[in-house]
Amino acid sequence: MIPLAVAGYLMAAYLLAAHGAMLWKPDFCRAWLRKLPRHHTAGVYTLAVGLIWFWLLVAPEGLWVFSALTMDIGEFNAVKPWLRILVPLAFLGMVIYVKEFLFVRALGVVALMAAGPLLEAAFNKDPASRLLVPLFAYILLTKGLFWVGMPYTFRDAVTWATASEQRWKTLAFAGLAYGAVTLGCALTVWRGH
């Protein structure tokens, strides 16, 4: 669990950095985003982050730091020993056999993993502005599901976003505005929640 203010700081940092880079180095960012869906090495590292994060959720008790994120998954606790074996095997299988859009699929896994702590941070909190966090988390969940199952949607979204200079700037300013509002709420309204 993370406090709502910390979730706000993390979201704002991501939104401000990513969308600020879109305005600061637009040509570099556009070229980088176009190459990214098929960048296998980036896919391997991103998949490693996502699957290690998931493995830590099902890690055995008593492994010191490695058990810090272990969670109760209710009826599925009996499956945890199998998941501890299947997750590394899935990683190896995907790295070896998934050649197309590995990065996008891996990014989808990371997006799905990141949505959980954000939703938990905003759950049953008082200020109505907290809805900025679940809205972002549900966008992550939706995109993550599409990226894992239909990774070409990431490529299509990048093609759409980079097709026009005006569209690119509009998206960048919208992301900066969302990040600024989130940071403002985290610094003022969400403290102590």
pLDDT score recorded for residue 118: 94
**Domain assignment of residue 157, given as a range:** 4-187
The residue ranges of the chain whose pLDDT is under 50 are none
pLDDT score of 72: 80
- Residue 193 covered by a domain: no
The answer to whether residue 104 sits within a structural domain is yes
12 contacts 187 by C-beta, under 8 angstroms: no
Q: Residue 12 falls within a domain, yes or no? A: yes
Helices (runs of H) and strands (runs of E) counted in the chain: 8, 0
Give the span between the Cα atoms of 180 and 107, in whole angstroms.
Answer: 24
Q: Report d(CA 98, CA 112) in Å as an integer.
A: 19
Quick check: is 158 in a domain? yes
What distance in Å separates the CA atoms of residue 104 and residue 50, rounded to the nearest whole number? 12
User: Does residue 192 lie in a domain region?
Assistant: no
Residue 191 pLDDT:
83
Alpha helices in the chain (DSSP H): 4-24, 26-35, 40-57, 80-97, 102-122, 132-149, 152-162, 165-187
Domain presence at residue 107:
yes
Q: Residue 77: its pLDDT value, please?
A: 84
Domains in the chain: how many in total?
1
Q: What is the pLDDT of residue 16?
A: 97
Instruction: Report the pLDDT value the prediction gives residue 67, as an integer from 0 to 100.
Output: 76
Residue 136, exposed/middle/buried by CB under 10 A (0-12, 13-18, 19+)?
Answer: buried
pLDDT of residue 95: 93
Helices assigned H by DSSP within 123-187: 132-149, 152-162, 165-187
Please indicate, yes or no, if residue 151 is contained in any of the structural domains: yes
- pTM, to two decimals: 0.89
pLDDT at position 66 is 75
So what's the pLDDT on residue 58? 86
| Residue 26: inside a domain | yes
pLDDT of res. 40: 93
